[in-house]
Structure formats: C-alpha cells, structure tokens
Amino acid sequence: MMTASAPALSIRDLHKDFGAAQIIRGISLDVREGSFHAVIGPNGAGKSTFFNLISGRFAPTSGKILLGDTDISGMRPYRINRLGLSRSFQITNIFNEMSVFENIRCALMWPGRAGYCFWRRASGYRRIGAEAERLIDEIGLSARAGEKAGNLSYAEQRALEVGMTIAGDARVLLFDEPTAGMNHNEVEQFAGFLRKVAVGRTVMMVEHDMNVVFSLADRVSVLVYGQIIATGTPEEIRQDPAVREAYLGAEA
Amino acid sequence: MTRSISLLLLGLLALSAALLLPLVSDSRFLTLFLTQLAVMVTFAMSYNVLLGQTGLLSFGHAVYFGGGVFAALYLITAIGGGALALPLEFVPLGGALAGLAMAAVLGLVSVRRAGTTFAMISLGMAELITAAAMVFPSVFGGEQGVSTDRMVDVTLTGLGYGRPSEIYLLVLVWALVSVALMVFLSRSPLGRMANAVRDNPQRVEFLGYDPYWIRFLQFCIAGTFAGLAGSLFALTFEIANAEVFGLRTSANVLIATYLGGITYVLGPVVGAFVVLLLELNLARITDAWLFYYGLLFLAIILFAPRGLTGILAGLPGALRRHGPASCLRRALVWGPAVLSGLVGGVMLVELSYHLSNSFDPSDPLRLFWRDVDATNWGVWALALGACALSAALVLRARRGGRRPQVVAAPMVEEGS
C-alpha cells in the first residue's frame, strides 16, 4: 500500500454509460499527491471521457471521485475548478476574440478573488495583472501578449491553453494530450515546460507520444475498453506482458 | 496614449457641440433630434451589453425599454399629482429600477442557454409581454396609450422642463452618465468575463465561473439601462402605448447597434446616430426610406461585419499600409462605380415607387432636385444607363486588379 502520502485524487469504481454503450466500466485509481500520472491507451479506450468525468463535464453513471476529501462526482465544472482542479483540452479551447493577456487574465480572475465584481476596474487588480504578465513570460508569449488569441500559431495556442490551465493555484492539473499536433522540436520543448509546471503539483496527463510519457511520468495507467488493466512505474508498464499485448504491441 | 487623448478630445468636441447646438440655433427639430439621439444611444448601448459584450442576440430588448417607459409615465403623473415628492430629475432612476426588476425576473429563464435558444426565448417574451400589455388597457392605455405632463412643481434645479431645450439637458445628462457607467462596467471583471462567455462559454466553466450567472448579471445590467432609456423616452414624449414593447422597437435597436458595430464599445453611438438620421430625415425625403434602410443593413452585414465604426476605425490603418497615393487611386477607381450605381439604383427605386404608389403616375416626381415624369421612358433609360455604367466600371476596376489578388496568386503558381 502507498504509505507516502494521501491521494490527491481518488477514483472509486467509476462507470459511465451513454445509452447502451458502456464507455467507462469500473475504474478505481489513486493519484498520489505530487505525482505525475500518465494515462495511456488505444484510441476509443475512454481516456477523454475519463477526464471529462473527473473535471465535471459529464456526470458519472455510478461511482465516486474524491478530490482530497471532497466528493466531486457529478459537480458542475466551475465548482470542481474552485476546489483546485484545473484541466486543459485536447482541442484548443481559448477565447479567440480576446488578447493573449486577456485570456490569461480571465483564467486568473477567480483564483485572484475578482469574482463577479462589476464595481471595480479589472485593471485595478494589480496582483492579477502582474501574475498574468509573469505567466505569459513563462509560457514564452510575452512578445504576443497584445495579439488576438485567434491569430496565434497552433503551437502558441497550445502554450496559451496550458498557460490558462496552470494559471491560479490549482493543486491538481489534468492535461488532455498537451502535445497533440506538435512537431518533434515543439514536443521536446513543451515536455520540458510541462516538467517545470508539474513541480509541487499533482498532474494527470493523457498522452499519445510515448517518449513524452516515459520521460515525464512517474506513474502510468493503461486504459483499455473503459478499464484500467495496469498501473505502475514506467518501467513496470514497459515490462507488463498484458500491456504489451493489449496496447504497446508492435511498438514495444 | 495619443489615441486615447485624441478620443477624449473628440468626445469633448462632440459633447460641447451637443450642448451648444440647441442654444445657438433655435430649431425645435434639432433639439428634438439630439434628445432622441441621446435616448437611442442609451438604448443601443444597453443592447450591446448583451449582443457585443456577452454574445446574446435578443429580439425582445424593447420589453425592458417599455417597462422603463411606463414606470416613468406613471411616476411623472404621481409627482405631478402630488402623490410623490420625488424631483423630476430622478424619474430615470425609477425607469432603471423597473428595467432591472423585469430583467431579473425574465432573465432567470432567458439566459439558461445562449445562441438560438436565448434568441427564441427573447422573441417569445417580447410577444408575450406585448400581448399581455394589450389585454390591460386600464394600465397600458390600449391604442391611445398613456400620457402624462412633465411640467411638475417638484424639481431639483428649478427648471420647469416645459421647453424642449430644458428636457434635452436633463436627457443628455442621464444619457452621458449611462454611457460612462456602461463603459466602466465593460471594463470590470464581470465585463471581461462576459467577453469570455461570448467567445467560449464552455471554457469559462473550467475557470471557476458559472456562465449562467455572468449572463444573468449582464442581462440585468442591460435591462437596467434599457429601462433608463425608456424613462428618458417618456420624459421626452410624455406618451406611449403598448407598441413600445413590440418587435418594431426591438428590431430598431438591433439594427442600430449592428450598424454601428458590435465589437466597439462606442459602436452603438455611431449606429444610433445614423439610424436616427435616416429615420427622421430620409423619411421626409422619400417614401422608400425603409427600403434603403434595409439595404444599408444588408450591405453592412455582408461587407462590413464590424459595422460603420469598423469602417471608420480601419481607415487610418489602410492609409498607413497602402500609402495615400494607392488609397487615392483606389478611391478614384471605385468611387465613380459606386456613385453611378447608387444614382441609378435610387432612380429606379424612386421611379418604381412613384409608378405604383401615386394616384396619377404622370404627376411630376421630384428626383435629384428636378421634376421628372415617371411615365416617360427617357428617365428610365437614364437610370438603367447609370446602372449599366456602374456595372461596367466595377468590371473594369476588378480587372484592374487589386481585389482578386488573393485568389489569383496561387493560381498563377499552379499554372507555371
């Protein structure tokens, strides 16, 4: 048993059906505080649905999701986010008509306690503004801060997407295929960036690029047909015969 | 920095003009025009809180305007009758409150979803409220409406507000306060998050915000200022019937806002100005004014989705990019084409209207400062000729080649 620390995220017998189709078929998983946990699996295994259940986009059919001690299963996304779980999207999901700065600032509004305030100017929140500038610098978009997000290149939009996810003080981060669609150089750069971001936080990541997975993750779970068939260190997963058969197959 | 200063100067200039014009010229028409403009600007700005800022397309914004109108009418009567010791200057607060109350109630069901659902609900609400208002003639006055008299004894400044120039001042002050407040609100955290909801409501949910609340609060703000605009309308005209709730009013504010440009905070100001100008002036010149009005709206949607403000704001940039010589050349190429097209088109429309609408088609028709006979084929030939000339000029200008550049370039590459 893991005695090191309590799980940051704990999933208990999670099920999700869409009509007659059972997409998630009983997942139980503990994600340890401070770990970098990758979820891999073939296309259609239910990885995205799994993330959508955790982040509140869908409500589970049955089962429990605990964030720390709080049961978040079936909660609306904004409530889960306020409890300290933030996610990125596989398909870039940003505010196209707004500037890079505005995008990041919007992601900092709630953590910065601006709330639904309409009696103060947004620029009056100096801490939020300063933090936004720092973060834009960190994701390497300082030169583009005033540009409309819709006009950014694909890689820049990916960086912005992740920047919005890590803005604020979420303890648990979910990255849904953060390097999707990037070329080799970009992937390498981005992996370094993700490693930096993960320090002091709990990260869960769905990723197709095995190099990224094995270089970043300290735990890997393999999801096949809505069930987790193995969880372990990258080395254990590489050796696991069931995994090799079900998934890595020809690649390994 | 220089841009904001020049904007400020422009604003001050417009403001002083707005203040001085009615004093300089004693024209009632001008005073009334500016008063209506102030009302319309407030209304259109409030509409853009929904459309431009939050991405909510409403077909029923007149409901909240109308609420303000009737609240103000009854308030003024109550003050005049001595039942209420509120100075007349504060009547718009009552209108704002009425708009807010209605928006807070109807908003709860309206803003559950954006997009088509919201648009359809707003349409339904408008029909519902209009129909309901017609059923209660004791409150809304039926066909002849409710009227009041704004010359009451209780005022703050001691002005009687009987004269148009006096009520104009009151309306102007409230309109300016409203516009300033709405600009301020658009820059608050709520205003910024409303922009985010407009662009991508789903993502907002994953940033800790409930899009429903953001839409609801914006809806309340829009309703408040629509109600305030309605009360300014009531102060100006002292009469209204249940028609103010109707689709005509809602469509008008939609068109004004869109014409001005929904992506600019002050776009609705430009739109309100143009729409009012058309409504009041064009209607005096021609029966076909609604036709032109619709045509202008279509042209803006098709060719300038950022509205008239977008065209104005884009001019300096275009000048800088292409250089004044190139811009002048383009204007010289396209100017005559557009102009002859306009002249020919207007002639055709006017001639057709005259033929079908006048008792005696051979009556002289006043067209471009001349009397013409619409039954004479010569004038028709002239109109068609102008249209043909325009078409020829357009063809030549396109072949001359600036516009299809984007399309042409890759095709050349393929061929070579």
Beta strands B146-147 and A85-87: pairing type? unpaired
Residues of chain A that touch chain B, judged by Cβ-Cβ distance less than 8 Å: 55-56, 76-78, 81-82, 86-87, 89, 93-98, 102, 105-107, 109-111, 114-123, 125, 164, 168
Q: Do residues A3 and A21 lie in contact, with contact meaning Cβ atoms separated by under 8 Å?
A: no
> How far apart (Å, rounded) are the C-alpha atoms in residues A156 and A159?
5
Tell me if residue A133 falls in helix, strand or coil: helix
Residue of B nearest to A106 (CA): B193
B221 touches chain A (CB under 8 A): yes
Q: Do residues B385 and B391 lie in contact, with contact meaning Cβ atoms separated by under 8 Å?
A: no
> How far apart (Å, rounded) are the C-alpha atoms in residues B372 and B362?
9
**Phi and psi (nearest 5°) for B151?**
-80, 85
**Is the predicted pLDDT of residue A250 greater than 60, yes or no?**
no
Q: Where are the domains of chain B?
A: 12-310, 318-403
* CA distances in angstroms from B24 to B14, B17, B49, B164, listed in the order given: 15, 10, 35, 14
What pLDDT is recorded for position B41?
95
Q: What is the pLDDT of residues A92-141, one digit of tens each?
A: 899 999 999 999 999 999 999 999 999 999 999 999 999 999 999 999 89
**Is the predicted pLDDT of residue B78 greater than 90, yes or no?**
yes
Q: Which amino acid is at B298?
A: L
Residue of A nearest to B55 (CA): A97
Q: How far is it between the farthest Cα atoms of chain B? A: 87
B112 touches chain A (CB under 8 A): no
For chain B, how are helix, strand and coil distributed in percent, rounded to 5? Answer: 75, 5, 20
> How far apart (Å, rounded) are the C-alpha atoms in residues B203 and B180?
30
B401 touches chain A (CB under 8 A): no
> How far apart (Å, rounded) are the C-alpha atoms in residues A169 and B101?
37
Binned at pLDDT 50, 70 and 90, residue B5 comes out as: low
Subunit contact B189:A164, Cβ cutoff 8 A: no
Binned at pLDDT 50, 70 and 90, residue B331 comes out as: confident
> How far apart (Å, rounded) are the C-alpha atoms in residues B170 and A41?
69
Per-residue DSSP letter, B128: H
Please tell me the pTM assigned to this model. Answer: 0.89
Binned at pLDDT 50, 70 and 90, residue B410 comes out as: very low
Binned at pLDDT 50, 70 and 90, residue B397 comes out as: confident
Substitution target in A106, A108, A169 with the highest count of B β-carbons within 10 Å is: A106
Substitution target in A79, A85, A95, A119 with the highest count of B β-carbons within 10 Å is: A95
What pLDDT is recorded for position B84?
87
Q: Residue range B9-37: average pLDDT?
A: 75
* CA distances in angstroms from B328 to B333, B335, B405, listed in the order given: 9, 10, 19
Nearest partner of B210 among A20, A109, A200, A130, judged by Cα: A109
Domain A1-84+171-252, CATH number (from 2.40.128.20, 3.40.50.1370, 3.40.50.920, 3.40.50.300): 3.40.50.300
What pLDDT is recorded for position B340?
87
> How far apart (Å, rounded) are the C-alpha atoms in residues B130 and A57?
39
> How far apart (Å, rounded) are the C-alpha atoms in residues B200 and B196?
6
Q: Residue range B336-340: average pLDDT?
A: 85
Q: Do residues B307 and B267 lie in contact, with contact meaning Cβ atoms separated by under 8 Å?
A: yes
In angstroms, the separation between the Cα of residue B17 and the nearest Cα of chain A is: 30
* Number of residues in chain B: 416
**Is the predicted pLDDT of residue B164 greater than 90, yes or no?**
no
- Which residues of chain A lie closer than 8 angstroms to B206, CB-CB? 55, 77-78, 81, 86-87
**Is the predicted pLDDT of residue B409 greater than 70, yes or no?**
no
Q: Do residues A160 and A94 lie in contact, with contact meaning Cβ atoms separated by under 8 Å?
A: yes
Residue A122: in which H helix or E strand, if any?
none
Q: What is the ipTM for the molecules in this complex?
A: 0.91
Residue B332: in which H helix or E strand, if any?
helix B307-357
CA torsion angle B329 B334 B340 B341 (round to 10) = 180
Work out the number of other CB atoms within 10 angstroms of the CB of residue B204: 27
Of B188, B195, B207, the CB nearest to A110: B207
**Phi and psi (nearest 5°) for B184?**
-60, -45
| Three-state SS letters, B47-112 | HHHHHHHHCCCCCCCHHHHHHHHHHHHHHHHHHHCCCCCCCHHHHHHHHHHHHHHHHHHHHHHHCC
The more confidently predicted of residues B333 and A103 is: A103
What pLDDT is recorded for position B182?
95
Give the sign of the dihedral formed by CA B244, CA B249, CA B253, CA B254: positive
Subunit contact B204:A115, Cβ cutoff 8 A: no
Work out the number of other CB atoms within 10 angstroms of the CB of residue B280: 15
Average pLDDT, chain B: 86
The more confidently predicted of residues B151 and A174 is: A174
> How far apart (Å, rounded) are the C-alpha atoms in residues B253 and B117?
20
What pLDDT is recorded for position B219?
97
Q: Residue range A63-89: average pLDDT?
A: 94
What pLDDT is recorded for position B339?
87
Subunit contact B193:A109, Cβ cutoff 8 A: yes
Subunit contact B192:A123, Cβ cutoff 8 A: no
Work out the number of other CB atoms within 10 angstroms of the CB of residue B76: 26
The radius of gyration of chain A's CA atoms, rounded to the nearest angstrom, is 18
What pLDDT is recorded for position B414?
35
What pLDDT is recorded for position B407?
37
> How far apart (Å, rounded) are the C-alpha atoms in residues A162 and A136?
11
Nearest partner of A109 among B201, B188, B50, judged by Cα: B188
Tell me if residue B389 falls in helix, strand or coil: helix
> How far apart (Å, rounded) are the C-alpha atoms in residues B266 and B310?
11
- Which residues of chain A lie closer than 8 angstroms to B205, CB-CB? 56, 76-78, 81
Q: What is the pLDDT of residues B84-105, one digit of tens each?
A: 889 999 999 999 999 999 999 9
Domain B12-310, CATH number (from 1.10.150, 1.20.1070, 1.10.287, 1.10.3470): 1.10.3470
Least confident of A172-181, A186-195, B42-51, B350-359: B350-359
Tell me if residue B288 falls in helix, strand or coil: coil
Q: Do residues A59 and A67 lie in contact, with contact meaning Cβ atoms separated by under 8 Å?
A: no
Q: What is the pLDDT of residues A134-168, one digit of tens each?
A: 999 999 899 999 999 999 998 889 889 999 999 98
Separation of CA B254 from chain center: 7
Q: How many CA atoms lie within 13 A of A137 on its CB side?
A: 6
- Which residues of chain A lie closer than 8 angstroms to B263, CB-CB? 97
Binned at pLDDT 50, 70 and 90, residue B166 comes out as: confident
**Is the predicted pLDDT of residue A2 greater than 60, yes or no?**
no
Binned at pLDDT 50, 70 and 90, residue A176 comes out as: very high
Q: A with B: how many residue pairs have Cβ under 8 Å apart?
A: 95
The more confidently predicted of residues A221 and A4 is: A221
> How far apart (Å, rounded) are the C-alpha atoms in residues A156 and A140?
9
Q: What is the pLDDT of residues B53-77, one digit of tens each?
A: 999 999 999 999 999 999 999 999 9
Q: Residue range B118-145: average pLDDT?
A: 91
Binned at pLDDT 50, 70 and 90, residue B26 comes out as: low
> How far apart (Å, rounded) are the C-alpha atoms in residues A31 and A67?
10
**Percent of the residues in chain A that have a pLDDT greater than 90, as a whole number:** 68
Subunit contact B206:A86, Cβ cutoff 8 A: yes
Q: What is the pLDDT of residues B271-326, one digit of tens each?
A: 999 999 888 888 888 888 888 888 889 989 998 888 999 888 888 888 888 888 88
B215 touches chain A (CB under 8 A): no
The more confidently predicted of residues B25 and A40 is: A40
The more confidently predicted of residues B364 and A64 is: A64
H-helix segments, B187-260:
189-199, 201-205, 211-237, 247-260
- Which residues of chain B lie closer than 8 angstroms to A77, CB-CB? 205-206
> How far apart (Å, rounded) are the C-alpha atoms in residues A230 and A27?
11
CA torsion angle B80 B84 B88 B90 (round to 10) = -160
Binned at pLDDT 50, 70 and 90, residue B406 comes out as: very low
Q: Where are the domains of chain A?
A: 1-84+171-252, 95-169
Per-residue DSSP letter, A29: E
Q: Do residues B397 and B337 lie in contact, with contact meaning Cβ atoms separated by under 8 Å?
A: yes
